[in-house]
């Protein structure tokens, strides 16, 4: 596997992708297959919570429009229950209201749009995890 992986004191970084579209989850797994991340997937906010409770998730990438709980609402709960996680919305419909909610209520670190460009998505994910590391180190220093 790749040598120059981002890791936290030897820990592999865990990413959770949430989308009601199975094929999106598959495509994201393919995209990240050679990065040194462990990728978890969930097809709804509810099963996303199950994974969050069981694993130490560092980055959550979620779709906006999903049955049941939408991405913004999901992120709002993730923020309050798992505040250390970095949150990213990956949406095919970037309407101003949902972007504002995502930022103001869900405090997302990035709002990315579908269709994504492979390289810039990989780069964004890298930046998110670097951000996670710096905030984590900052907290350790405190």
Partner 1 sequence: MVHQNAESKLHLTELLELLTTMKMLTRQSSMEILLEKALARERQARELAEKILEEKSRELYDSTIKLAQFADQLSLANLQLEHELDERKRIESQLVQVQKLESLGQLAAGVAHEINNPISFVISNISSLKEYTVAFKGIFEQLDKIRTQKNSLSQDEIEAAYSVINAIWQSEDMNYILGDVDALVAETQDGLLRVKEIVQNLKSFARLDESELNEANLNECIESTLKLAWNELKYKCEIDRQYGDLPVLNCAAGQLNQVFMNLVVNAAQAIKNTGKIIIKTQKVKNDIVISISDNGEGIPPENLKRLFDPFFTTKPVGSGTGLGLSISHSIVQKHKGSISVESSVGVGTTFTITLPIIQKNKGT
Least distance in angstroms from the C-beta of 78 to partner 1: 20
- 114 near partner 1, judged by CB under 8 A: yes
Residue with Cβ nearer partner 1 (57 or 70) = 70
CB of 93 to partner 1, least distance (A): 5
Helix (H) or strand (E) holding 104: helix 96-104
Which one of the spans 9-17, 30-38, 49-57, 80-88 is the region binding partner 1 (CB under 8 A)?
30-38
Single residue of 26, 123, 130, 134 touching partner 1 by CB under 8 A = 26
* C-beta neighbour count of 48 within 10 angstroms: 25
| Given 93, 100, 120, 123, the residue binding partner 1 (CB under 8 A) | 93
Radius of gyration of the chain (CA): 14
Query: Which of 3, 5, 40 lies closest to 133 in space, CA to CA?
Result: 5
Per CB under 8 A, the list member of 36, 44, 65, 99 interacting with partner 1 is 65
Cα–Cα distances in angstroms (integers) from residue 47 to residues 19, 44, 129, in the given order:
10, 5, 23
Q: Decide if residue 27 touches partner 1 (CB under 8 A).
A: yes
User: 86 forms bridges with which residues in the sheet?
Assistant: 59
Nearer CB in complex with partner 1: 85/89: 89
Q: Is the peptide bond before 115 cis (omega within 30 degrees of 0)?
A: yes
Q: According to the binding rule CB under 8 A, does residue 33 interact with partner 1? A: yes
């Amino acid at each position: 596997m790749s040598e120059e992986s981002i890791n936290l004191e030897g820990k592999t970084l865990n990413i959770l992708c949430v989308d009601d579209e199975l094929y999106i989850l598959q495509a994201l797994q393919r995209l990240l297959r050679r990065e040194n991340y462990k990728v978890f997937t969930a097809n709804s906010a509810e099963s996303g919570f199950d994974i969050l409770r069981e694993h130490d998730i560092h980055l959550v990438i979620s779709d906006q429009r999903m049955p049941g709980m939408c991405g913004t609402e999901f992120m709002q709960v993730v923020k309050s229950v798992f505040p250390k996680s970095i949150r990213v919305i990956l949406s095919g419909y970037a309407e101003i209201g949902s972007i504002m909610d995502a930022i103001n209520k869900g405090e997302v670190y990035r709002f990315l749009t579908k269709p994504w460009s492979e390289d810039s998505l990989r780069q964004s994910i890298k930046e998110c995890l670097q951000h996670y590391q710096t905030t984590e180190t900052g907290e350790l220093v405190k």
